[in-house]
A and B are shown apart, each in its own frame.
Chain A
Amino acid sequence: AQSVAQPEDQVNVAEGNPLTVKCTYSVSGNPYLFWYVQYPNRGLQFLLKYITGDNLVKGSYGFEAEFNKSQTSFHLKKPSALVSDSALYFCAVRDKDNYGQNFVFGPGTRLSVLP
């Protein structure tokens, strides 16, 4: 069965500092991995995805994520945080080799960027 863990409920970082939001996953086959962001009272917005190829994936708004197969991780990073990055971030996984499987989302990590 697929699962996603986001070990931190909350991440606080000062504006201008680098940020990391952690995600680890478990799938029986090969993973498709995603990050989404949710602003208050809004739907989820796609940030980036890993499907194949380079382990470092670049996405929207200056975010990037690194796929690490040995550690089954897909941590979200940004070199310099902005106050406007404050939101709820979700990691998701889908089993590439099992088409009938749906997406599984992590519980979310709330990022607060302090001015």
Chain B
Amino acid sequence: NAGVMQNPRHLVRRRGQEARLRCSPMKGHSHVYWYRQLPEEGLKFMVYLQKENIIDESGMPKERFSAEFPKEGPSILRIQQVVRGDSAAYFCASSPGSGFRSYEQYFGPGTRLTVT
């Protein structure tokens, strides 16, 4: 059973470009979380999604950031018009979403975004 997959692992964008980060949850998992980690800092919650629905986006910046988790395919975190301050590691985690194990969260390896 493959774990949570994220791609790309490293992404370099120039200021003003768009960044698209992908997350494929573990098989059977219907809930996805996105977190951002700045260098030498902890994880900051961004958004919590289930398929075709955003459950909690309280951690998402109001502008330029969006996330989706379609019925088919991976979850996408999109950052438009990137700025240097967006440089960070972005982690995705998935959980079953229901049942006894719904509280468990499994993390992907992260995407390291560098904005030049």
* Physical interaction between A and B: yes
CA distance A49 to B105 in the complex (A): 11
CA distance A2 to B48 in the complex (A): 16
Contacting residue for B45 out of A36, A96, A103, CB 8 A: A103
> B41 at the A/B interface (Cβ < 8 Å)?
yes
> B33 at the A/B interface (Cβ < 8 Å)?
yes
> A107 at the A/B interface (Cβ < 8 Å)?
yes
Q: Are A36 and B107 in contact (CB under 8 A)?
A: yes
A106 contacts which chain B residues (CB < 8 A)? 42
Chain B residue nearest to A101 in the complex (CB): B56
Helix, strand, loop or mixed for chain B's interface? strand
Q: Are A105 and B56 in contact (CB under 8 A)?
A: no
CA distance A106 to B4 in the complex (A): 22
Known contacts A32-B103, A94-B103; is-contact A43 B43 (Cβ 8 Å)? no
What 1/0 flags go to B93-104 for Cβ under 8 Å of A?
Answer: 100000000111
Instruction: Give the interface size class of chain A.
Output: 20 to 34
CA distance A34 to B56 in the complex (A): 20
> A63 at the A/B interface (Cβ < 8 Å)?
no
A107 contacts which chain B residues (CB < 8 A)? 41-42
Q: Shortest distance in angstroms between B97's beta carbon and chain A's nearest beta carbon?
A: 10
Contacting residue for B109 out of A32, A43, A96, CB 8 A: A43
Q: Which 9 A-B pairs have the closest CB atoms?
A: A107-B42, A44-B107, A43-B107, A105-B43, A108-B42, A43-B109, A102-B48, A32-B103, A43-B110
> A46-B104, A100-B56 known; 14 other A-B pairs, CB under 8 Å?
A32-B103, A43-B4, A43-B91, A43-B107, A43-B108, A43-B109, A43-B110, A44-B93, A45-B107, A46-B105, A90-B42, A99-B102, A102-B48, A104-B45
Chain A residues with CB under 8 Å of chain B are 32, 34, 36, 41-46, 49, 51, 90, 92, 94, 96, 99-108
